[in-house]
Structure 1
Amino acid sequence: MAEKKLTFEENLAQLEVIVNELETGDVPLEKAMTAFQEGVKLSQTLEETLSQAEKAMAKVMADNGEEVPLDAEEQQ
């Protein structure tokens, strides 16, 4: 069965749990390394999601229904 894709908020919450766990310092080295690697992957996923959202927000719909870059709309 396919894995459910987590939302941005779910990934962020998972990353926060990892960071809090690592900050306590009571984690065995092997577990800390695994958690750190998972945190890096989550961070990359979050950054990709934000980048895609930024690209989408940088476009607006023109009067004719076409997408145009936001800065081009301001110049008109």
Structure 2
Amino acid sequence: MSKKAADMSFEEAMKQLENVVQQLEAGEVPLERAIALFQEGMELSRLCSRKLEDVEQKIEMLLEQEGEQIAVPFRLEGDGE
């Protein structure tokens, strides 16, 4: 990764992850590079997941501060639920 993962915003990490996926889907990279891209993609995926979990916790804390007693799970559009 060109930028330290911890310093990336969610949007930057997603954009880089999309780039990695496009390269892998193209199928025109040597095996060694494909493995490195896969590892980078997994790291970016974990980073995005952690950032989403942090946001979900912040939303739940804000709802609790407003007097709400029910923790509302964060759902993305198109989650199927």
Bin for the TM-score computed over the shorter chain: 0.7 to 0.9
Against the structure 1 CA distance between its residues 31 and 22, is the aligned structure 2 distance closer, same or farther, given a 3 Å change threshold?
Answer: same
State the structure with bigger RCO (CA 8 A, min sep 6), 1 or 2.
2
Kindly tell me the number of residue pairs found equivalent between the two proteins.
65
Partner residue, 1:71: 70
* Gap runs ≥5 in structure 2: 72-81
Q: Per residue, is there more strand in 1 or in 2?
A: 1
Partner residue, 2:53: 51
Partner residue, 1:23: 25
The TM-score with structure 2 as length reference comes to 0.72
* Gap runs ≥5 in structure 1: 63-67
Higher-Rg structure is 1
Deviation of the 1:70 alpha carbon: 5.0
Partner residue, 2:77: none
